[in-house]
Amino acid sequence: MIFGKGTKLYSIAKIKCPQCHEGQFLVSHPYDLKNLGDVKNECAVCHLKYEREPGFYYGAMYVSYALGVALFVTIWTSCNLWFPWLGAWSQIGLVVFFTVFLSPYLFALSKIIWANFFISYDKDAQLKK
């Protein structure tokens, strides 16, 4: 299974703990502007400390940049393939709209992707409390 429990894609898609795939990774949902992008201190299930060192999530900026570029290329290419009559300013408007609308989600997604680079799934993590 590509999205089955135990895969990094499962943790990323569900925004769950990278180690046990059970606990929540974020303090609240990505669109809660009061807690925008806040990561919990540790997993409530396996007690993994999410911040490996001070400034650990600064590297997520590179992931966020890559997600932003992918979003831009996807929108721009889609407009040119399926809506060739749209002018350049309309396409720029769509890119700006979707970038602003998806920014909180992409911010949260970049942090969970970054954490999954360094933390592996452990099916026995819950037992090691």
Q: How many CB atoms lie within 10 A of CB 18?
A: 27
Confidence of residue 129 (pLDDT cuts 50, 70, 90): low
Confidence of residue 126 (pLDDT cuts 50, 70, 90): low
pLDDT digits (tens, 9 = 90+) for 3-25: 778 889 999 999 999 999 999 99
CA distance 39 to 112: 9
pLDDT digits (tens, 9 = 90+) for 59-89: 999 999 999 999 999 999 999 999 999 999 9
Confidence of residue 124 (pLDDT cuts 50, 70, 90): confident
Closest C-alpha among 101, 113, 117 to residue 15: 113
50 CB contacts (<8 Å, ≥6 apart)? Answer: 17, 25, 39, 40, 41, 42, 43, 115
In residues, how long is the chain?
129
